[in-house]
């Protein structure tokens, strides 16, 4: 992953943030493209609603599902990364083999692969009953434990019963 910059403040009234980079901003993320905001040392995917460069070292970006300044205020000081870097392995694929555990239902399964869809990332999870698609959204993830290769989640009721 390549670092874009650091979120320095909120911008406007529609949940946008200002990202500053000492090395300069080379490209605007495309609508629906994920960028990764590093929260507590973990890159969490956020999907771009809108992005534009205002100067060579400043990017204004807003995210799907974060429509207000209050919803993005806690991101101030976080690093923003992009998965695009020629020859670099996408860190999101590093969670292949992790076990997803739902705290509510007790569901558990192993991540077989990651599917990138416009607007969301999905984990294809193998269980005893078959494959299940689990959305990788920061509101659903409780804890990522890289040492034990476990992701604890709080999934909506019935989601794990949907097989394909």
Domains of the chain: 2-82 (2.40.30.60), 91-161 (2.30.30.240)
Tell me 156's DSSP state.
Answer: P
At residue 93's C-alpha, the angle toward residues 87 and 94, to 5°, is 100
User: Is the CA virtual torsion 104, 158, 124, 75 positive or negative?
Assistant: negative
Q: Cα separation of 145 and 22, whole Å?
A: 31
Q: Which long-range contacts (CB under 8 A, 24 or more apart) does 95-101 make?
A: 95/123, 95/144, 95/151, 97/149, 98/144, 98/149, 98/150, 98/151, 99/149, 99/150, 99/151, 100/125, 100/134, 100/150, 100/151, 100/153, 101/150, 101/151, 101/152, 101/153
pLDDT at position 84: 60
pTM over 0.85: no
pLDDT in tens, the chain (164 residues): 788 999 999 999 999 999 999 888 878 888 888 899 999 889 999 999 999 999 989 999 999 999 999 999 999 999 999 876 443 334 555 788 999 999 988 899 999 998 877 667 889 999 888 899 998 887 888 888 888 999 999 998 888 776 54
Q: Cα separation of 120 and 139, whole Å?
A: 12
């Amino acid at each position: 992953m390549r670092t874009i910059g650091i979120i320095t403040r909120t911008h406007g009234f529609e949940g946008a943030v200002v990202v500053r980079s000492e090395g300069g901003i080379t490209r605007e993320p495309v609508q629906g493209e994920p960028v990764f905001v590093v929260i507590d040392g973990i890159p969490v995917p956020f999907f771009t609603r809108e992005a534009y460069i205002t100067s060579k070292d400043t990017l204004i970006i807003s995210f799907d599902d974060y429509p207000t300044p209050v919803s993005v205020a806690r991101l101030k000081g976080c690093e923003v990364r992009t998965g695009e870097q020629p020859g670099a392995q996408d860190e999101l694929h590093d969670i292949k083999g992790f076990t997803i555990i739902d705290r509510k239902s007790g569901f558990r399964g192993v991540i077989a692969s990651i599917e990138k869809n416009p607007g969301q990332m999905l984990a294809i999870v193998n269980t005893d009953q078959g494959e299940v698609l689990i959305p990788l959204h920061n509101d659903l993830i409780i804890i990522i434990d890289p040492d034990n290769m476990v992701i604890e989640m709080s999934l909506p009721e019935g989601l794990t019963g949907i097989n394909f």
